[in-house]
Amino acid sequence: MRDEVCSGIKCFEEVSSIKSLATVEREYEKTKSSIDLEMGKSGKLCVIQCSSGSDDDDEIKKSKNSVLQDLNELVDVERDGEDQVMKNEVILSVSAVVFCMDGVLKESKEIEKAIKELVQWENPSTQVDLNVILRKLRALQKNV
């Protein structure tokens, strides 16, 4: 989950640093038209997923459920009194971490919505797709 949040924040940083979406579009079109396969320049775009969609939500739920299942199995194991105290502390700590991670993921989705809204507000005549914008930015960076 940490990787998803960190890569998402990096995406948001790159997209929000654009001064003009129209300039990115123009530069991308110039670069795209100058691709020469014989000179070894590839027209492939790197595949980047900035947005966290329902597939990402499913993966996150699976991860959380896996951790919680492991905790349930830990609870089912009977131990001595001293081990029981430690087991309870571990369960409480891991549960707190899962709760915090869930909150961070929810907040990162809210940031994503705000970034998209901001970019849309700055470019009202353009349909904003953060993934497409990011792929174009990365393609421009590779060609520089």
pLDDT tops 80 at residue 54? no
Of the ranges 24-33, 75-84, 119-128, the best mean pLDDT one: 119-128
Average pLDDT over residues 63-87: 73
Q: What is the DSSP letter of 45?
A: P
Mean pLDDT, the chain, whole residue set? 75
What is the C-alpha to C-alpha distance for residues 112 and 9, in angstroms, rounded to an integer? 8
Average pLDDT over residues 22-48: 62
Tokens standing for 50? 């900035």
Confidence of residue 2 (pLDDT cuts 50, 70, 90): low
Confidence of residue 33 (pLDDT cuts 50, 70, 90): low
pTM of the model: 0.63
